[in-house]
Amino acid sequence: METRLLGYEHATSVTEIATWANELISKDLHQLPGYRVVRVIHFQVVYTQSDYDAMVLVEVVERTNETELVELRAEDIAVIEELTSTVGDEPSQGTRPSREY
């Protein structure tokens, strides 16, 4: 996991900043495509003359590309097709093994 520092400018209240920071959790960052916020580690609010600015340190994790996770070779597909083609077929007509007790 990695950390990133994000900024928020010209908020009208600290509640606005807190709401924004809480809504970051579990979301992808627009500034960093492919990264999802795990948690807010620290934040600092600064009051300016008429509004608030904030710096927020967040922990992020890089999202893996889901299409990279599943790469089947032609041989794999052939085996899967062979295995699934027999699902639901009637059992073979061979003799049933006898049970010995």
pTM as predicted = 0.60
pLDDT score, position 3: 93
Residues contacting residue 5 through CB under 8 Å, at least 6 positions apart: 55, 56, 57, 58
Structural domain that includes position 24 = 2-66
- Has residue 68 got a pLDDT over 90? no
Domain annotation covers residue 89:
no
pLDDT score, position 75: 77
How many structural domains are present in the chain?
1
Question: 86 in helix, strand or coil?
Answer: coil
Average pLDDT over residues 49-77: 80
Domain annotation covers residue 9:
yes
Domain annotation covers residue 10:
yes
pLDDT in tens, 2-60: 999 999 999 999 999 999 999 999 998 887 888 899 999 999 999 999 999 999 999 99
Domain annotation covers residue 55:
yes
Domain annotation covers residue 71:
no
Question: 38 in helix, strand or coil?
Answer: strand
Strand partners, 52: 11, 47
| Structure tokens, 79 | 């085996």
Domain annotation covers residue 83:
no
pLDDT score, position 59: 95
